[in-house]
Amino acid sequence: ERVGYLAQLGLDYGWGPTSLCQWVLEHLHITAGLPWWGAIAGCAVAIRIVMAYPALIAQYESVKSREMRQNPLYKETQQKYMMSMAQGAKMSPSELMEMRMQMKLLQQQAGVKMWKMFLPMLQFPLAIGMFKLCRGMTALPVPGLESAGTLWFTDLTVPDPFYILPCVSAVMMVFSMQRALPFMAAEQANMMKKLPWILGPIGIIVTLKMAAAVQLFFAMAALMQYIQTTLWHMPIIRRLCGLPPLDIMIENANYLKQSGPVQTGPGGVQYQPPRTIKTTASETTPANKPKEASPQFENPLTFFRDMRQKMSDKVSEYQASSGVTDEKKAANEYEARRMREENEKYWARRDEQKWRQEQKKNQKKR
């Protein structure tokens, strides 16, 4: 075997992310001497390492964007724009242009470049290329791939017999998304908390019958994503990268218990005030202590209904605050229609008077 071995077998993808993944995979297997399962896992690690710097740039832009969103002028402008779009109101081109220019000017003043926040999406072409490559290798199959696995999945050309790899992928994805919930706005967090429970089962179903080579790549990629998310939550890593502490980034503390403890001090040490004993009031005993409501699982199917309801509530709130209600609109339309009718009647009477005057003049001439 030598570099180019897969192309000789018929796996020639030309130029693109798939060929790049193939080049890296062959070097890990042939040059570095890793088995096929190790080379596939190594490609997932390599993709995550390459995407570390774009992810860091996105973190910087996220901090700038958060500071910009706290600007009252930006909040007011964005709210007007979103409410007008939600109501389907027709804005004049000049008003729309002025509002967009104002938001763009505020972004320039804050130094925010929105396109940098999408840099982590560069990993998707590489992930798709690696998926195509693994699927092509198992479809041939590549000689020796039937015994190139490890642990319980020794055959990389067939699905995981115990379905562990698809479950690992889904669980790691859910954990990664939940770690970000405390740092989202309340409304966004309420919607995002249900999304993992939708994508997780879908991911398991989609990858359940795929070859173990593909399942291994997805599981390793999800594991590396969780590790990267955990590293971004470590205070020492944030200090080295120049990122602000997490305690000032928290916007929704209700999800801290769900996503795990957040370390905000060096070494994970947090200040806790001393306990005090109240002597003037009776203490609550376990017998009369109210029971805390245990968290219950919400049906993920209500995700879209909640999103639509929240949008409707926002529109109603904006209409109530600005005084623009349906009754007032109907009254204004009625007044405008009545004025038009009165105007038409007035001009009709004028035309009729002119016609009668002309008839009288004609009769006198005769």
Tens-digit pLDDT profile for the chain (366 aa)?
A: 677 788 888 888 888 888 899 999 989 988 888 999 999 999 999 999 998 888 888 888 878 877 777 777 777 777 777 776 665 556 666 777 777 787 788 778 778 887 887 888 888 899 999 999 998 888 888 888 888 888 888 888 888 889 899 999 999 988 888 877 776 666 666 777 778 788 888 888 988 889 999 999 999 999 998 998 888 888 888 888 887 777 655 655 555 544 444 444 444 444 444 454 444 444 444 444 444 333 334 444 455 556 566 666 666 665 565 554 556 666 667 777 877 788 788 788 888 888 888 888 788 776
Q: Which domain holds residue 138?
A: 5-267
How many other CB atoms are there within 10 angstroms of residue 246's CB atom?
A: 17
- Looking at the structure, do residues 199 and 342 belong to the same domain, yes or no? no
Is residue 307, in this structure, part of any structural domain at all? no
The CA distance from 191 to 260, in Å, is 19
| pTM of the complete model | 0.62
Is residue 133, in this structure, part of any structural domain at all? yes
Long-range contacts of 167-170 (CB under 8 A, 24+ apart): 167/204, 168/219, 168/222, 168/223, 169/203, 169/204, 169/207, 169/215, 169/218, 169/219, 169/221, 169/222, 170/199, 170/200, 170/201, 170/203, 170/204, 170/222
- Looking at the structure, do residues 251 and 351 belong to the same domain, yes or no? no
Is residue 301, in this structure, part of any structural domain at all? no
> Which of residues 229, 244, 267 is at a domain's end?
267
What is the per-residue pLDDT for 46? Answer: 92
- Looking at the structure, do residues 117 and 237 belong to the same domain, yes or no? yes
> Which of residues 218, 236, 267 is at a domain's end?
267
The CA distance from 24 to 34, in Å, is 12
* Beta-carbon-side half-sphere exposure of residue 172 (alpha carbons within 13 Å): 19
- Looking at the structure, do residues 12 and 108 belong to the same domain, yes or no? yes
Residue in the structure block whose two tokens are 């071995």:
5
Write out the two tokens for 201. Answer: 């089962």
As a dihedral over the C-alpha atoms of residue 52, residue 54, residue 56, residue 57, rounded to 10 degrees, the angle is: 170
Is residue 154, in this structure, part of any structural domain at all? yes
